[in-house]
Structure 1
Amino acid sequence: MDALRPVPRISIQAFCETPASCAAVEEAGRDRRMAKAHLRVQTGGIRAAMEHYASAPTPNLMILESALDPEGLLAELETLAEVCDPGSKVVVIGHHNDVFLYRELTRRGVSEYLVAPITLIDVISVVSSLFAAPDAEPLGRTIAFVGAKGGAGSSTIAHNVGWSIARLFESDVLIADLDLPFGTANINFDQDPAQGIAEALFSAERMDDVLLDRLLARCAEHLSLLAAPSVLDRTYDFPGDAFAALIEAAQRGTPVVVLDVPHVWNDWTRSVLQQADDIVITATPDLANLRNAKNLVDTLRKSRPNDAPPRLVLNQVGIPRRPEIDPAEFLDPLGLKALATIGFDPQLFGTAANNGRMLAETDARHPAVAAFNQIAHDLTGRGAPKAVPRSGALKLLDLLRRR
């Protein structure tokens, strides 16, 4: 058991049919190696999971028990696939030691099959092998937010979208404020941590999960912040790969890593943007923003030919008496569709910023909050919020494969 690696910050939900399996999973959740994971154990098996996920997002890992025969188990999993989000992993606890069943489950995208009765060692071992093994792919998806121009509101968008992802999907999010001299994440979240991203960068040679955990500030449930010092007692000149070790450590331990990139252009910002899984450019509808956004989009398309193009958020739309470029005319030369268009509301945005709160905490019904929620769905690949089970005979492999 000592050889097992600690499990990262993932969400796990178990639906068990027998008291013995419930007890084993709950006992595993109390182990120190599972301290970072958010584990919830419920009864009812796969049928209960289908009812629950018809209107709720699926977690990073589902543990499902079924005492059905192989044919019945496969049929229930096929139905479950209709309400599963992409990227979720599935571990099945069954009561039949059947090689054919194991091969069929693996073919359909199930990550592991355990034969009951199980122990806490079985649970920790399978979770560790899926998410914490040395050869496992990085868990976290990096989303870089950058402004086309200073003052476009990129940081505000990044912080509110990160907060929405954590709240909507109950999935851990790490926000890293990369603007060391002038970052505002600590203000926007009303935090004053003694340490943060500066200590992480200047200790890059010994960066690991333990050090990163010590530097994080907890902003809300499922949301952590790596704050910028926001002081000018030194200059912050970094080589191109300065943030690589930090981002890799963050990816190993957190499902979603939001990178708040400052509006500067040098080796390290270019490197961070080139390596991000997704890029969101925030722009306001004027000519300078259009020129800068066009340059960013063209440059990133050339340096990332096999990746999706950057996303674009049009912000501060509708400022009274300010000449603006029509959104359609703004988007046309970029060859993009707007991820969201957010109207100008200085009262709400200013109140939220001055109080150290997110917009949803200030006015949950404001249209900007709905925009942030939609961006969160789009960036995580979860699509529109689920209201009813999705239809169609979709293969489990198609919906449960890793992103």
Structure 2
Amino acid sequence: MNAIDYAIDSQDPADAPGGEELGALRPLPRISVHAFCESDASQAIMEACGRDRRMAKVSLKINRGGVAAAANMFASIATPNLIILETSTEPRHLLQELAPLAAVCDPSTKVVIIGRHNDISLYRELMRNGISEYLVMPVGMAEILAAISAIFVDPDAEPLGRTIAFIGAKGGVGSSTLAHNCAYGISSLFSTEVIIADLDLAYGTANINFDQDPPQGMVEAVFSPERLDEVFLDRLLTKCSDHLSLLAAPSMLDRTYDFQGDSFTPLMDTLQRAAPVSVLDVPHAWNDWTRQVLSSADELVIVATPDLANLRNAKNMVDIVRKLRPNDKSPHFILNQVGMPKRPEVSPTDFSESLEIEPAAILPFDAVLFGQAANSGRMIAETDRKAPAAETFAQLAHLLTGRTTAKRAKKAKLAGMLEALRRR
């Protein structure tokens, strides 16, 4: 075949990354991919790949047929960046079958073959002839995405930062307050650079919560995507602490803010390159751009208070997010303002059972502590470092950054809290 770069797969398919490791894969760049599937199973897998958020920028076309179909198609049109071929051909005939495709394949095109024969001699022969990857059936979506990532994502490049999106199941549930405190906790506990992006351009509160009077950074970032890079972003940021920066919303009503679905995509891409962690304070709304932000973020946190409207909204959000992100773990769920005096509440147990998610944290209602922090423009840990809420934010910082899962400790603490709530 022509000189098509090769990187052979020497791992057993059973050792390929699963659901947990899939989340560690980076989003793929803007490439064109044509897949040729002989079986219904491989076609279903490729369709699942196409729905994955890591493939959002990829132009994927799925065709029925094998190597011959590919050769016929590309005899008259240019080859894409990547061709994925399923074949059941015997090893001794495979190179002969590939010859017509090699004659029309552009030298820069990568080729991945999904075959049915686990044969080391075949691996070596394909290596000498420049195939980019060889996978043995049956393969899963994680293996295919990992193979594409290995070809097109530079392993020596600086790792992309993680984006953590906070959204409230209802207005006024404290999602912004929790987002800001978690961001502060991550930056102070780990001495990690963190950027808070306040996406609520009309009513954002990040500038107030951090006692800042910054320029309208978010407006310039969103409405000037052609200028947006790390240098330009740095000019728009306001320093809140040694490791925490703010991209503030104008919080003014002198204009309306209507966005297309992908309006915030350039900003999210730039944030990932600019800082190890970016916290997105997403307003309680449902439109094309919020849907896109939530489906693209690495971690998603839904904040709710214990009433029926929050339960309904949170359930709807969890259900749609699971459809938008079928290959990611469930969103994190935080129950806030629990135990407000004289307010009838839905129990945390009922909330968990309905959402089928255990709360990442349960924050009791504390009007004095949170009110003091808000009115002084300080975080909870700054206001009272020994407060239980400050410890909770520290645990969330560990959980959301993957520093630790802390499952046993979190469940033990949660069980005690639930018992205390039942006794009220």
TM-score by length of 1: 0.62
Is 1:156 equivalent to 2:177 in the alignment? Answer: yes
CA distance in 2 between counterparts of 1:313 and 1:194 reads 31
**AA of the residue aligned to 1:371:** T
Specify the alignment match of 2:327 in structure 1.
306
Specify the alignment match of 1:379 in structure 2.
400
Look up the SS of the partner of 2:164 in the other structure: strand
CA distance in 1 between counterparts of 2:329 and 2:156 reads 26
CA distance in 2 between counterparts of 1:260 and 1:160 reads 11
Aligned 8 A contact 1:313 1:339 in 2: yes
Look up the SS of the partner of 1:338 in the other structure: coil
CA distance in 1 between counterparts of 2:327 and 2:188 reads 31
Is 1:357 equivalent to 2:378 in the alignment? Answer: yes
Structure 2 residue ranges without an equivalent (≥5): 1-153, 407-424
What is the CA deviation profile of residues 198-225 of structure 1, one whole-angstrom value per residue up to 9, with x for unaligned ones? 1111111221111100000000011000
CA distance in 2 between counterparts of 1:330 and 1:213 reads 41
CA distance in 2 between counterparts of 1:257 and 1:384 reads 19
Specify the alignment match of 1:284 in structure 2.
305
Is 1:182 equivalent to 2:203 in the alignment? Answer: yes
For 1:366, which of 376, 387, 391 is the aligned residue? 387
Aligned 8 A contact 1:374 1:384 in 2: no
CA shift for structure 1 position 384 = 6.7
CA shift for structure 1 position 195 = 3.0
What is the CA deviation profile of residues 272-326 of structure 1, one whole-angstrom value per residue up to 9, with x for unaligned ones? 0000001000000100000000000000001110001110000000000100011
CA distance in 2 between counterparts of 1:324 and 1:221 reads 40
Look up the SS of the partner of 1:156 in the other structure: helix
Look up the SS of the partner of 2:391 in the other structure: helix
Is 1:220 equivalent to 2:241 in the alignment? Answer: yes
CA shift for structure 1 position 137 = 6.2
CA distance in 1 between counterparts of 2:379 and 2:163 reads 21
Look up the SS of the partner of 2:240 in the other structure: strand
Structure 1 residue ranges without an equivalent (≥5): 1-132, 386-403
Matches within 5 A, 1:84-99: none
Matches within 5 A, 1:3-402: 136=157, 139-383=160-404
Look up the SS of the partner of 2:226 in the other structure: helix
CA distance in 2 between counterparts of 1:384 and 1:313 reads 15
Bigger CA radius of gyration: 2
CA shift for structure 1 position 194 = 1.9
**AA of the residue aligned to 2:224:** S
RMSD over aligned CA atoms reads 1.6
Specify the alignment match of 2:412 in structure 1.
none
What is the CA deviation profile of residues 15-73 of structure 1, one whole-angstrom value per residue up to 9, with x for unaligned ones? xxxxxxxxxxxxxxxxxxxxxxxxxxxxxxxxxxxxxxxxxxxxxxxxxxxxxxxxxxx
Structure number with the bigger relative contact order (C-alpha 8 A, sep ≥ 6) is 1
**AA of the residue aligned to 1:265:** W
CA distance in 2 between counterparts of 1:197 and 1:210 reads 15
**AA of the residue aligned to 1:359:** I
Aligned 8 A contact 2:215 2:248 in 1: no
CA shift for structure 1 position 136 = 3.0
Aligned 8 A contact 1:181 1:229 in 2: yes
What is the CA deviation profile of residues 225-246 of structure 1, one whole-angstrom value per residue up to 9, with x for unaligned ones? 0000000111000000000111
Aligned 8 A contact 1:317 1:342 in 2: yes
CA distance in 2 between counterparts of 1:306 and 1:134 reads 22
Aligned 8 A contact 1:241 1:271 in 2: yes
CA distance in 1 between counterparts of 2:313 and 2:216 reads 33
CA distance in 1 between counterparts of 2:223 and 2:323 reads 31
TM-score by length of 2: 0.59
Alignment coverage as a number of residue pairs: 254
CA distance in 2 between counterparts of 1:216 and 1:344 reads 32
Sequence identity, in percent? 64
What is the CA deviation profile of residues 102-156 of structure 1, one whole-angstrom value per residue up to 9, with x for unaligned ones? xxxxxxxxxxxxxxxxxxxxxxxxxxxxxxx898365210000000000010000
Look up the SS of the partner of 1:348 in the other structure: helix
